Amino acid sequence: MIVSPQDKNKIKQMNPLVLAFVGDGVETLFVRAKVALSGDAKANALHKKASAEVNAHAQSEQAERVLPYLTEEEKDVFLRARNSKSRHHAKNFSVTDYRRASGWEAVIGYLYLTGEIDRLKELFELMEKI
């Protein structure tokens, strides 16, 4: 954990798309570490593997799978981000995928910033299983 855990109420006040911004970075780091440890030593191959998991469509599917396992608090963060109006979306993916991915990223960002690393790890592990 590089950032000290922040007050939940403070983090809940943040723009949900800012939480998604943080969550995108956290998930990218998680996925890059996972593929780096997978044994393939070629950077280009690692990049392709990571990119296949960290994009709006893949994250949208992850959100769908993990949504039933979220706490009410996490669902609230997810819905706030998913329903936030963004001026743009990923050009190669649908608006629905982009918004759902933003919701998932916001949950990740929220858990990271509040120091709930065990819960974050639990959700990442769950995502790998389901």
Which residues are known to be catalytic? 24
Cβ–Cβ < 8 Å for 66, 104? yes
Cβ–Cβ < 8 Å for 120, 75? no
Helix axis angle for 117-129 and 95-113, nearest 10°, is 140
- Classified as helix, coil or strand, 51 is helix
